[in-house]
Structure 1
């Protein structure tokens, strides 16, 4: 029997921010405070190098799933997961997507015009997939994260 790496679905962030240009894009899980963003980042990034990101589109919502490319048997491996009830932000991101992508944790900041700020630390994303729910294979990591069966 093959031993599986311990995986935990991490969904403590409130929302998502997307920004970038033709060369690079940032996917930013947004927390309620900088302290919570830093605390979450420390947990998720422990021993981490890079992620793969998947956006799963349903009829009236989307799910964001990002999982580490390398999972260690000796540590907890966090999968970033969140379900959102609006498709507008992910559709806009999909239309402008291209180039290298990074994940940065951010926090809600009422003193800034765009309402959030991000940490300097980042993790590269090897690739981004946009899928319809019908395309998610049963038993895949995206399927298991969606059902909280990790």
Structure 2
């Protein structure tokens, strides 16, 4: 039986920013300030420096959950999983409709001086794959299930 890595859900960001083109996409948790984005990024990267992440969007009738976790989990220490639940499906549907190509995670912050209303850090983490799942298709006991149900 595989030992489970202890997990902490990292969910201190306000929203999500999505951008990119047909070749590359960025999923960006958005914080209220650049300082908080930098602090959050440092905390996640301290545990997973150089790690590749897996991302999943779990769709419910009136909300969606975003989960990103490192492919290399260390069962002997706490591992951060990026998690957030959102009550609006509009941004997910827009991203899902244009998705394709490679994906990266960057942390960002609100910036009302920008047309997109957010800006992002230069640092990034690559994503191996993005899954779009319905809530009833999440496998019981999987990493996605554990993050969604807070079975950490």
Tell me which interval the TM-score lies in, with the shorter structure as reference length. Answer: over 0.9
1:23 aligned onto 2:51: no
Alignment gaps of 5+ in structure 1 = none
Tell me which residue corresponds to 2:45: 45
Post-superposition shift, 1:73?
Answer: 3.1
Instruction: Map Cα deviations across residues 16-42 of structure 1 (whole Å, 9 max, x no partner).
Output: 000000110000000000000000001
Per-residue CA deviations over 1:93-125 (Å, capped at 9, x if unaligned) read: 011100000000000011212110000000000
Structure 2 runs not aligned, ≥5 long: none
Query: Relative to structure 1, is the Cα distance of residues 144 and 17 closer, same or farther in structure 2, using a 3 angstrom cutoff?
Result: same
Structure 1 length-normalised TM:
0.95
- Taking the TM superposition and a 5 Å limit, the aligned residue runs for 1:103-114 are 103-114=105-116
Q: What is the Cα-based RMSD across aligned positions, in Å? A: 1.2
**In 2, Cα distance between the equivalents of 1:90 and 1:39?**
26
Query: Could you report, residue by residue, the CA deviation over 1:56-105 in whole angstroms, capped at 9, with x for unpaired residues?
Result: 00001100001100012343211011000011101110111000000000
Matched, 1:142 2:141: no
TM-score, length basis structure 2: 0.94
List aligned pairs for 1:71-110, cutoff 5 A: 71-110=73-112
